[in-house]
Amino acid sequence: MASNLNLILCTLTTIILFISSMNIGSVQSASSHFKVGNAFGWQPPPLDNTEFYTQWAANITFQVSDSLAFEYKNDSVASVDKWDYYHCDASDPISIFNNGNSTMNLDQPGSFYFISGLYEHCRNGQKLMVVVKSPLMNASAPSPSHHRHHSSACSVSVLLISTCVSFMFIALGVSYV
């Protein structure tokens, strides 16, 4: 009788854990607020590091509803289209701010382009492109980013499922070794 009860409990636990592990990838994370450039902020990068902002963004997975905080002095930040980004053209921006502390909301999936409103600053690398993933993209293709990892939760689920399956075999008297 006890072995039948163990079998039932392990089977139910396995089913619940399996269903839970399937939903882990689709869980929506809370939005994040990123300070562009971290402590360096939004300013022309050192002359020998024109890829500074590209490198800053490379290890971050941006999602819809995240935001970017640009902190700067005697400068501006312009949201521009792709062509303007590559040509450092701030003459017709989507939006431009010069208040020293600007927040840009990433409200849809796709690419967002930001440049300094000062041409020389942009030409020297003060520009940023971010790719915002949709929730569906994150569920089907996890990013290697240090943000929003679910792999440890999946590992725990797999371990628990394996343990329950082992107990099921023991309860049934099945030898699997």
Closest CA to 163 of 18, 3, 57, 5: 18
pLDDT digits (tens, 9 = 90+) for 62-108: 999 999 999 999 999 999 999 999 999 999 999 999 999 999 999 99
pLDDT band at 47 (very low <50, low <70, confident <90, very high): confident
pLDDT at 135: 74
What are the tens digits of pLDDT across the range 116-171? 999 999 999 999 999 999 876 544 444 444 343 333 344 445 444 555 455 555 66
Task: List the single range of 6-10, 53-57, 59-63 with lowest mean pLDDT.
Answer: 6-10
State the angle between helix axes of 151-172 and 2-23 in degrees (0 to 180), rounded to the nearest 10: 160
Question: Domain residue spans in the chain?
Answer: 29-142
Whether 19 has a pLDDT exceeding 50, the answer reads: no
Homologous superfamily of domain range 29-142: Cupredoxins -  blue copper proteins (2.60.40.420)
Confidence (pLDDT) at 171 = 60
Say if CB 74 and CB 146 are below 8 A apart: no
pLDDT of residue 134: 84
Contact call for residues 117 and 90 (beta carbons, < 8 A): yes
Listed as own residue / partner, the contacts of 7-11 with beta carbons closer than 8 Å and 24 or more positions apart are: 7/168, 7/171, 7/172, 10/164, 10/165, 10/167, 10/168, 10/171, 11/164, 11/168
Q: How many CB atoms lie within 10 A of CB 164?
A: 21
Closest by CA to 57, choosing from 133, 145, 135, is: 145
